[in-house]
Every structure is written in structure tokens, then in C-alpha cells.
Chain A
């Protein structure tokens, strides 16, 4: 833990201004990730800007008929909000698949998107890690990589993004609202997180000083045929080895519209437009689902411990597509896989 000063921001402007002025300042929301990382000496901010009093804690109807979730809405508030529960059950389900009730009570929408990888090495300053200290190397590629990525990796980093919520948001094509020193902007959630490439130290497109103000859900209705299927090393309270968010719009037996995002397999929620296109206009069938799965995983690359994820992801995709198509989404309390 290093020494830091603390400021409780009273307006978005103030928060942004103060953060922009200090390159090692960090916003703090629920603190469930940042404080851990500070204790591990992974994050060493000199200034904490507490944003929890900012007026970003509401869920509101948006102009286009969707919902706008304030960045400070906690994960549990979002999951149990009746509007989200009814209109975006995929999001509720994904949130409830993550962490524990205690954590979800503190964790916020913005913080969840910006939580950092759970790569063992990233958390341990006694080891090298390109994400933590650029240029030091990536011991995970030749070390323990059970929880690491199989898609979109680079030789410099094979970490995954651990969020469940973000996977559902990617499938729902949510939009992230950002305020910064240069004003406001929006970006599609799928473009928010980046792949590691040559700069694994950069997780997202967010610039220093920018703050997430909200996440907006478009009005498209996927409340009937959806699922969030999460596979992990115990039945609850573990990060995903592989997770699949599926949102379908069915017209009779036909899949009119399909969205599919994978978690636990890449540096960002993984979507594959080509695979989604294969589903459109088709009816649910094992063979189709298997070829969709094969398509998504065709460029997957496994390492010593995590190669199993390739096969597991295919199986999970097939099952999740069936769950969604048949309108029997995975329960997050009954641990039997539907």
C-alpha cells in the first residue's frame, strides 16, 4: 500500500478536472477491485477521487426506449431492478452469476467494466508481468495459465477480462457514456475493451481523466430467448472459465436475430459477427450450433493449462444456444445446468 490523498468529488466536472490534473490519480467507486490491487501494490495511486457521491446512481428510461444505468448503480441494484429484470433479464442473470452478494452490493456498473484481469501474475508484484510493468515479460504464457485467454491473445499478454456483466452488455450492444476533460462521448461496449496487442497495460479505450457516467441499453427486446451460462471451478463465487451470453429474437422457429458473447476467453467480451450471421434465418439445430461454435473458436489458441477451454467453449456455446432458443435460460440459483 502506498500513501495517497483522498478527495470526495461533488460534481462530475470536479472529478474529471482533478483526475486529469494528476496522472496517478484514480477514481474509486465500490473499491472492491481497486483497494485489493492497492493492498497488493499493483495499483499505486497517489490520489483517490471518490465518485460515490456523484449523481450517477439512477436507472432511467433513455430517449430511444432503452434504459440508462448510471455508473454508480451497484451490481445488485441493477440485477434486481424490475425494469432490468423484466426487459433485460440477460443482464440480471449475468450480474447474479458473478462474485457474491456482499461484493455485488458494493460493486458499481462503471467499476465492474473497469475491473482488471485476475491473472495470477498480474496480482503478484514478485513476478514479471507486461500488464503491470510493461516490458518485463509474460510468465503466464509458459507458466500457469488455466484461467487465461484462448482468443485474441498476443505474445505479450494472454490475460482475460473477468467481468460477467460486460459479457451480457456486449451481447445487448450497450453503449458506454463517457465524460472527460474534452467533453462527452459514447462508445459501443464491444469497442470499449481492447485486445492486449503490444500494449497489454492498456485495458480499455478510456483516457486518463475520463469517467464513465452511464451504460445505455438499447430498446431491442431479448427478454424471451436469452441465457447466461457460466462454467467455473466451483458452483458459485468463482470467475468464469468460459461463459456465454446469448440473446436471440425468434420468429416462430426461426432465429431472426442473434447475439452471442463469450467471457473468460479473451481480453474483452468476445463477439463474432460471422458466427452470429450464420444463425440468422435458421432454426435451432445441433449441427448449426456446432458449426457456429467451431466458427467462433476457429482461431483459438490454447496454452499448457487452458487448452481445454477451446473444447469447453464449443460445448458451452451449443448448450447456451439451445437454452436461449428454447426459452429456458440458465438459472443462477439452481446450479444444475439447464
Chain B
């Protein structure tokens, strides 16, 4: 029988599920405040130039309009770049809303209209007249590629490519088998369901309580404090629920600045919600052009890997992500040259988007590996096994754990891969060509220093708290599981509080590090409570546990008992009464182990298998089946974990076939800025997705062995689908998304 309260690793419903489906869960734009005013953003029509004049008189004349903020009348804010920088900012000068008359990208906010009613503000915003003096802009990476440069300043947390090893060029030139190709992935916008919004509540004492759509309550808090010269005690950010973000909420976005600015100036509460089209006026996954050269022996063994990527960034910041390093992480090779460059265009700075860098780099290397499989006549899975990286060769470290082999094996078995005829165009179902393709996925298992608090009260209730976030991933649920199991309480006795800047310190939610980081912090805090309560239990008069050590007891159902004699037990309440305490409180941190990270590399892995059916004449693609086998250490909750992977796979499907933000280079503007024309997968696009969690023993990264699941589902999916399309049609499309025109072209 299951140990009572043994929740870790078991499928549990979301603890916030009921609140979400009944509307009890409040999102940033749903918080009310007395006298709330509403702000609407006016966006620039041009990509570059200056604002010659801005006529706000008609807007101001609308009864109920409180103010129109522009660069001409905005209040003073901090003026050092560093004040505008946030936890995840790349090097450079962060964008400052309404700073001066300069327009540096299309869609830039140029005014904020604030009114008593939302509709009034929207109406008045349409009356603001802006005259521009345009300057020539450039948004076309192809025309800027020749000016690409290696970012002079590294972005914190983003590993630059390692120095070259061996002689990749020389060996490639001599290699018996060669693959050399260019790959592109289109610009994508995150497009979470919830558009960005901030409700700034102006409290009676002049302090601010802010409900912001963010992946980091404390990141938003410190940004607001430093930009507006407030102390951290004057700003509290409370964002308990986030309607998806995928990275778009990592940086404080301009609606936060504008709402706070207006609230401070008007001394009243203000809400600013961006429209769907304005969701295309800040960060995005940048356009990336990659060139890969693989040199190999006829037996498929890689002799040389060269992987180069050029991405766009803005003119004001050097955005960076890890695009090319994955090639050598997945495959053993002695001659490796990985390079990464940026080219500046007149758009906003790109922003991390789910599996930043990896989704792009792995799409390219895994397509190239498929090309190598055909060039050598070796089965794609076998080719990967022959080149399997046993260690992190760039850093010369061992892996903390790596069950990618098992992913290939279990995924292939479940998929029925051995029945595949390797010949392209060899499988068919009526008019449809059938294709089977596969790819690997990899993502770093990251831990970030995070703190958590646990408070146990005599009534047997436990509250755990950390300033971390749940962006829809299931953080509430897994933290509740960890806390309940650690202290031996039913999950229903645990309340998890997150998404509030006043709680113990946490970094932004991102990079798949939250489960490992906040999970470990919560575990540590609960362990500390456990020790204290055990101390009281032992000290009780005639305690049955007097002579026991903590290793000899079990915590379950609100009591502590001898593991080999459950009748010798003390309830939490008894122990606390005996100790004379009403509550036991502990705050602890969890940090990445320095020793581990010096010697080991931690990554999660996956093997993705895809079946596509392609109408031979019409090029209509259906992804009829996906099997993804994931090795990511401990799976805390197979139910929410599966949902994460399903979502990730669908995200990858979008990258493979649909998502593309189209820039009009003449106007320097994204044009398909709505969900009717920016296509993300709909139900009809999604057929069977089978998720396998491969068991992986992980003990080095953190005591629970957590690696995280937010990104891994995305990585590899696009390439698996692209490779399946090649197998079906014999046509290699090296430009994602693979749309009808490319397939028929």
C-alpha cells in the first residue's frame, strides 16, 4: 500500500483547478480598486524617426478623460540605464516608455490616455494625432546579415559558444560524407491567452499594490522601485495567477511602467491592458538563420560539426540565447566549431520564448542529423546512438544523469519505429503520403537560488510561501505535494502562497527551473519545521519518541511515529503544545550545488517521434501521431507533467507548421498581429500525442532529483515533424514553419 501522504511522483489534480474553472482565480486585469481609472496605449505607426508633434487636445476634451501622457509631459523617472534593467535584461539600454521624441520601433507606445472608463479611454486614444518625421528603418535580417557581430558583452546566464576544438573546417573539407545547409525559423510571438495587463492600486498611504502579468513578482517590484525612485516597502506586486506567458512576462513590459506612472501622477488606481495587436509590440522569438556543416564517416560517425547562428536583436540591446551549443551537447565530436552572432534591426528587443535558443538550435541540428542519416543510409535513431555524447565535451564534465538512450528506445518501441521503411515516399495511405520522423530534444536542468517559508500551526495546517510564480505550469500543485509529503500532512491541509513580492525571495519563473528551485526551497523549509517539531515531540513528558532519532521516525497524517512501531506516536498538536508553541516557522533557501556544477552538467532529454500524412497533390499536412519520451529526473506529478509536455509538443507543432510573425519591411511593422492571422494550432491540428516519462535516477542536482519540464516538450518537436515530412514527401524544407507553399514550391 502507498505510504499515506506520499504525494511526490503521484498524479494529482491541480490544487488551483477549481479556482480557475469557477472564476475564483484572479488575473492582473481582474482586480478591482475604488476609483479605478483606465489607460489605453497609443502605438507608433512608424518604425523609426521622431515625433514632430502630438496633438492630444481632442482626446483631452472628451469628458471623463483624466490625462494624456506623452514624452512631453511625462513625469521624471530615473535616468540611468541600470535603473531600467531587470533580472533578465540583456546588455544594453533598456527601452524607456515615453522617454523622448524618438521612435525606435513600430508599435512603440507614444501616449497613454487615462480616463474614468475603459471605453472612454479607448475612444479618446483614437483621437490622439501624432505627426512623425520618419527616418529610414531596416528590419530585414538578410540585408543586415553581413554586419552581424559577436556580442561584445555576454548576457548573464547565457553561455556563449565554447571555443572551437580540433580543426572543424579542415576535417569537414576532407570528410567522406558531408551535410551542409542553411536553416531558418520564423519570428514567433508568445501570444499567451491573457494579454499583458497591470492593475496598480494606489493605497491610501500612497504605496502601490500592483497586479501585474509577470513571471516574476519581485522582478516587477524592483523594476518599479528603481525606475520611480520608490523604496521596496512602497511597492508590492501581487500576481497569484498568470494566464500563460511563455517568456513574455520575464521582463517588466511597458504597460507596467505606464500604469505605475499614471497612478503616481494621478494619485489614483490605474489599470492598463494591452490589446492583442499590442502583444506584437514587444519581445518575440527572433528570426534565426543557421548554417550547419556536418562531416562524417560512411558509418555515420561525426568527424566535424560546424554550427553557426545569426539572430536579430534591437538597436538598443544585445539579446542573446543559447542556439548552437546543443549540437555538441547531443553528439560526440572532436572537431567542433560553434559560432553565434547578432544583427541589429529596428524592432523591439527579442525576449526569451519557451525553450529559448534550444527550440531553434535543436530544430536545425536535428534536421541536419536527419539529412546525414539519409546521406549515410543509416537509420536516424541508430545514427544518434552512434554519435551519443557520453559527456558534456565542451565543458569536459560528466552528466548528472542522462537517459536519452532509453528515450530513443522506449519512444521507438511505442511508436513502432522498426516498421519504418527508410525510403522517402515509400509509405502511403490512399492519397496521403505517410512519413515517420524523429528528433532528439535537450534542455538544461537549471537551479536558481530561491527561498521559501513554512509555517505549521497547532491546528495541523501548513502554509508554504515563496515569491515564485505559477504561469499555468502547475507550481501550486507540486509545491503543495512536496510540502505535504515532507511533513506528513494531507495535501488539503497545505496552503501554498506564491506570486507575491512580499514573500521569500525567488527569481523569475522561467527556464524550467522553478520546480527544482522553489521545490527544493519548500522542501528545505519543511525539513526545518520537521526538525523543530520532532525536537518538541522528543522532549514531551514520557514521549514514546524520547530515544528515537529523526531517521527512525515517520511523519504521516499529522503525527510522528516510530517507523517500526506506528503505535508509538505523537501528534503535531501534542508536540507543539508540549513545546509551548502555537506555530513553527522556518525560512530556508535552496541553491545550486557549487561542487556539482563544477564537475557535472545537468540536462533533461527527449526523443520525439512523429507521423505525418501529407496530401500528395495539395500539400495539406496532418500530424497524426506524436510519441515523445522524456527523461527529466523525478517527475513530481505525472498528471500536470503530462500536461506540460502536451502543451510543449503543441507549441512545437506550431513552430513546425504554423507560427510566423510577418514583418512588412517597407513599414518595419509586424502585420499579422491578431489571432485570426497569426496561426497557432487549434484542436483540429492536434491528433494523438503520447507522452512517456522515462525513469531517470537523478541525485546530484537537488535532493528530489528534479530537472524541470517547462521547455523540453517543445525542443525537438519541430524537427521531428520536419523530418517526417521529408520521409513522406522526399522534400526537405529547411525553413520553419513548413507551410503549403513551401511544400508545393
Contact A124 B671 (CB under 8 A): yes
Contact A308 B741 (CB under 8 A): yes
A168-195 near B? 1/0 per residue, CB < 8 Å: 0000000000000000000000000000
The interface residues of chain B lying within 8 Å CB-to-CB of A147 are 677
The interface residues of chain B lying within 8 Å CB-to-CB of A139 are 664, 666-667
Cβ < 8 Å to B, chain A residues 218-270: 231, 233-239, 241
Which residue on chain A has the smallest CB distance to residue B615? A337
- B620 interfacial contact with A, CB 8 Å: yes
Contact A234 B682 (CB under 8 A): yes
The interface residues of chain A lying within 8 Å CB-to-CB of B669 are 124, 126-127
Contact B677 A120 (CB under 8 A): yes
Question: Closest approach, in angstroms, between the C-beta of A75 and any C-beta of chain B?
Answer: 16
Question: Closest approach, in angstroms, between the C-beta of B116 and any C-beta of chain A?
Answer: 14
Contact A241 B677 (CB under 8 A): no
- From B430, B431, B657, B667, contact of A127 by CB (8 A): B667
A311 to B431, CA, bound (A): 18
- Known contacts A234-B658, A236-B682, A312-B741: A337-B126 contact under CB 8 Å: no
A237 to B126, CA, bound (A): 30
The interface residues of chain A lying within 8 Å CB-to-CB of B676 are 118, 238-239
Interface centre among B45, B684, B744, B745 (most CB of A within 10 A): B684
The interface residues of chain A lying within 8 Å CB-to-CB of B619 are 312
The interface residues of chain B lying within 8 Å CB-to-CB of A40 are 277
- A5 interfacial contact with B, CB 8 Å: no
Contact A126 B618 (CB under 8 A): no
Which residue on chain B has the smallest CB distance to residue A241? B740
Which residue on chain B has the smallest CB distance to residue A143? B664
The interface residues of chain A lying within 8 Å CB-to-CB of B430 are 336
- A105 interfacial contact with B, CB 8 Å: no
Contact A231 B618 (CB under 8 A): yes
- From A1, A123, A143, A305, contact of B666 by CB (8 A): A143
A107-149 near B? 1/0 per residue, CB < 8 Å: 0000000000010110110110000000000010011101100
Cβ < 8 Å to A, chain B residues 658-687: 658, 662-667, 669, 671-674, 676-677, 679, 681-685
- B274 interfacial contact with A, CB 8 Å: no
- A41 interfacial contact with B, CB 8 Å: yes
Cβ < 8 Å to B, chain A residues 272-315: 305, 308, 311-312, 315
Number of chain A residues whose Cβ lies closer than 8 Å to a Cβ of chain B: 39
- Majority SS of interface residues in chain A? loop
A318 to B683, CA, bound (A): 28
A118 to B431, CA, bound (A): 32
Contact B671 A144 (CB under 8 A): yes
A167 to B48, CA, bound (A): 42
Contact A234 B744 (CB under 8 A): no
The interface residues of chain B lying within 8 Å CB-to-CB of A241 are 740
The interface residues of chain A lying within 8 Å CB-to-CB of B189 are none
Cβ < 8 Å to A, chain B residues 12-67: 43-45
Contact B673 A124 (CB under 8 A): yes
- A2 interfacial contact with B, CB 8 Å: yes
Contact A127 B45 (CB under 8 A): yes
- Majority SS of interface residues in chain B? loop
Cβ < 8 Å to A, chain B residues 254-297: 275, 277
Cβ < 8 Å to A, chain B residues 118-140: 119, 122-123, 126
- B739 interfacial contact with A, CB 8 Å: yes
Which residue on chain A has the smallest CB distance to residue B430? A336
A139 to B277, CA, bound (A): 19
Interface centre among A144, A239, A308 (most CB of B within 10 A): A144
B123-166 near A? 1/0 per residue, CB < 8 Å: 10010000000000000000000000000000000000000000
A1 to B43, CA, bound (A): 15
The interface residues of chain B lying within 8 Å CB-to-CB of A1 are 119, 122-123, 126
Question: Closest approach, in angstroms, between the C-beta of A65 and any C-beta of chain B?
Answer: 36
The interface residues of chain B lying within 8 Å CB-to-CB of A120 are 662, 664, 671-673, 677
Question: Closest approach, in angstroms, between the C-beta of B519 and any C-beta of chain A?
Answer: 36
The interface residues of chain A lying within 8 Å CB-to-CB of B618 are 231, 312, 315-316, 319, 337
- B613 interfacial contact with A, CB 8 Å: yes
A266 to B684, CA, bound (A): 27
Contact B740 A312 (CB under 8 A): yes
The interface residues of chain B lying within 8 Å CB-to-CB of A144 are 662-664, 671-672
Question: Closest approach, in angstroms, between the C-beta of A206 and any C-beta of chain B?
Answer: 24
The interface residues of chain A lying within 8 Å CB-to-CB of B663 are 144
A158 to B667, CA, bound (A): 18
- B617 interfacial contact with A, CB 8 Å: yes
Contact B671 A319 (CB under 8 A): no
A126 to B275, CA, bound (A): 14
Question: Closest approach, in angstroms, between the C-beta of A44 and any C-beta of chain B?
Answer: 8
The interface residues of chain B lying within 8 Å CB-to-CB of A335 are 620, 622, 684
A-B interface, 6 closest residue pairs, ranked by CB to CB distance from nearest: A236-B684, A308-B741, A126-B45, A120-B671, A235-B684, A143-B664
Apart from A127-B667, A312-B741, A315-B618, what 4 extra A-B contacts exist at CB < 8 Å?
A3-B123, A126-B43, A142-B666, A238-B679
What residues make up the interface of A, taking CB atoms closer than 8 Å to B? Answer: 1-3, 39-41, 118, 120-121, 123-124, 126-127, 139, 142-144, 146-147, 231, 233-239, 241, 305, 308, 311-312, 315-316, 318-319, 335-337
Give 14 pairs: A residue, B residue, CB < 8 Å, sorted on A.
A1-B126, A118-B676, A124-B277, A126-B43, A144-B672, A146-B741, A234-B658, A234-B684, A235-B622, A235-B682, A312-B619, A312-B741, A335-B684, A336-B432
